[in-house]
Structure 1
Amino acid sequence: MFERFTEKARTVVVLAQQDARQRGDSAIDTGHVLRALFAVPDNLAIMVLEGFSVRQADVEADLAARPETAPDGSAADADALAALGIDLDEVRRRVEEAFGPGALDRPRSPKRRWIGGHIPFAKEAKKALELSLREALRMRHNYIGTEHMLLGMVHGEGIAHDVLVARGVQLDVARVIVEELLRGRRAG
């Protein structure tokens, strides 16, 4: 499938991997891919997002505000634990009572590092990339560009899907914008 990616789409994948590595994440999720789209200048995906008034700073803030997720996809924040009846403050109190004040403040062990190889794609990121291929085929394109990657994320699931939909990005409208932009490039 990657042989069909345009140079800019390949750059997005490389930048998503770099983003995941810099953040110490063990997998590339759709949030990494969405951030990477903004890092590649003059690409159609960004033009589509501009059509929805979606700006990089807003997306970055939305991604930063999302709770981190565990490998199984479950939220790992205090609210999620509270919903299960687990009081994080009470857990902290008991741990400090048993092990001393500040026992939980010690540096965490580093996240798993992927040395010398590629960081794998998370399930929802793989699905978004598969959907980008389907979007390209649907439009009868023999390549996968950044615009198809964006459509795949909107069509799919995961953090990027959630952020984009919350920002008002609609799949059918985004497809129309992509077609119009491509028509304009062919005419010009």
Structure 2
Amino acid sequence: MRKLTFGMNVTLDGYIAAPGDDIGWSGGEGPDSSPSDELFQWWSDRVAATGLALYGRKLWTTMSSDWPTADQQPGATPAVIEFAQRWRDMPKVVFSSTIEEVDWNTRLVSGEAVAEIARLKAEDAGPMDIGGATLAGAAMRAGLIDEYVLVTVPVLVGGGTPFFTALDSWVNLNLVETRTFPGGVLLTRYETRL
């Protein structure tokens, strides 16, 4: 059975995007900042270790607007080149009823997301990551997420898209890792407790 992880950058007050889907805070050192080299490498290594990435429509739109050709842009750093290549190579599934076509080692699912996630999770294959608030929220409510990774940036945005969705019951977690990054960014990783 695959392990399903939900991990994203999150503000200290619990949002993955500020109002207007603004993620300019996510670098950790002010508006429109980039993550530290160390944090960027951590995310890149995570992409390399992911057996299958599950995306909701909004996150797919964001990622697919930059990463397919980021390594071909003038001034692309070795880290950006590596991430772009890893991202393109990583198998992906996009869940959307409005997108008609996907590319870059990606499959589109327009049907029932929770049933498909459960089916994929039951496979004997590498770990899966899930991203996007709506998609991850559905998986949370269905009890499908095994691990939560919060990369907390020390900023308060006061509203927006929350990392966690409303749940019908408690989910007990075990802390399995903490790590600090430049700019006061803190990684916390929790596994669900059976």
TM range (shorter): under 0.3
When the two structures are superposed, what TM-score results if normalisation uses the length of structure 1? Answer: 0.25
* Structure (1 or 2) with the larger CA radius of gyration: 1
Q: Which has the higher strand share?
A: 2
When the two structures are superposed, what TM-score results if normalisation uses the length of structure 2? Answer: 0.25
Q: Which has the higher helix share?
A: 1
